[in-house]
Amino acid sequence: MKKEKIVVLGGGTGMSTLLRGLKQFPLDITAVVSVCDDGKSTGRLREEFHMPAVGDIRRVLVSLSEVEPLVEKLVNYRFKTTSDLNGHTVGNLLLTAMSNINGNMSDGIEALSKVFNLKGKVLPLTEDNVILMGTMTDGRTIEGEHKITQTKGNIAKVFYKEAPKINPKVLEEIREADLIIFSMGSLYTSIIPNLLGPELIQELDQCQAKLMYVSNMMTQPGETDSYTVSDHVKVINSYLGTHKIDVVLANDGMISEELVEKYSDLEQKDPVQLDRKTLEKMNVELITDNFVIVEPDSQYLRHNVVKLAFHIFSYLL
């Protein structure tokens, strides 16, 4: 029986979280990862080896892998030392080594995928060492993904310093997809960076697959302050071509007042409001459920990824 083919575009923890749920269903999964992160270990490796970012790819590889939990701990282990190894993760070093051995990142990822027994494919958006730029609402231009996220103020738009060549394997996967998903995660620094290549937009315009957005539950300071679900969709649509978002998955579960206050005080984050009527006017199909989970130990808010994945799987049936 042929599995339905989905292509997930994103980056960061949001994407890896969603993939942990999706891999539990009989789906043909391809994860396309934005590679513009330039902070911490990833930033140092990019500068030294002139390569795309490896950090988000490491997280995605781990989330799709079917290996022992001990291997996951090993891959995510971060050195704490006084040498040049300080701050580097084992997985980032492995990805860098395999990319150098194989001549490019895509082949390096494919080689590691066999070791990690991946349930799906992982592709970098580009093989280029891209630099993300951000224009703030006050007119300032910021260079580098890390600096964009750290800069106080609101983002007006993002773009690349130099136009990258989109990975042809990514375009091929989009061409063959039954559903294309924009995962939850940082809107301007994880999702939109996947939409800054005209070749990719052209493929999305021509593809028969529906475009789905999995909405964040909380806003992000400097990126999506006071954004509703429809505001997120409008921003994504502004970077798309003629083919706009067709369907949205959003949380309609209650978040406790205690958690709302905690996120507001400590992280300057607020719940993303679900504005149904505006989404209806935008001709967006809306799928909602209570996706709220609170981790017992940390008391942090998380998506119920199995429930999310179930809705995505059901949508394809």
The tens place of each residue's pLDDT in the chain, 317 residues long, gives 678 999 999 988 899 999 999 999 999 999 999 988 877 787 788 778 877 778 888 889 989 998 777 777 888 888 888 888 887 888 888 888 888 898 888 998 998 888 888 999 999 999 999 999 999 999 999 999 889 988 888 899 999 999 999 999 999 999 999 999 999 999 999 999 999 999 999 999 999 999 999 999 999 988 899 999 999 999 999 999 999 999 999 999 999 998 999 899 888 999 999 999 999 999 999 999 999 998 887 778 899 999 999 999 999 99
Give Cα separations from 119 to 31, 114, 257 (angstroms). Answer: 11, 10, 38
Q: What angle do CA 64, 249, 304 make, to 5 degrees?
A: 50
pTM: 0.92
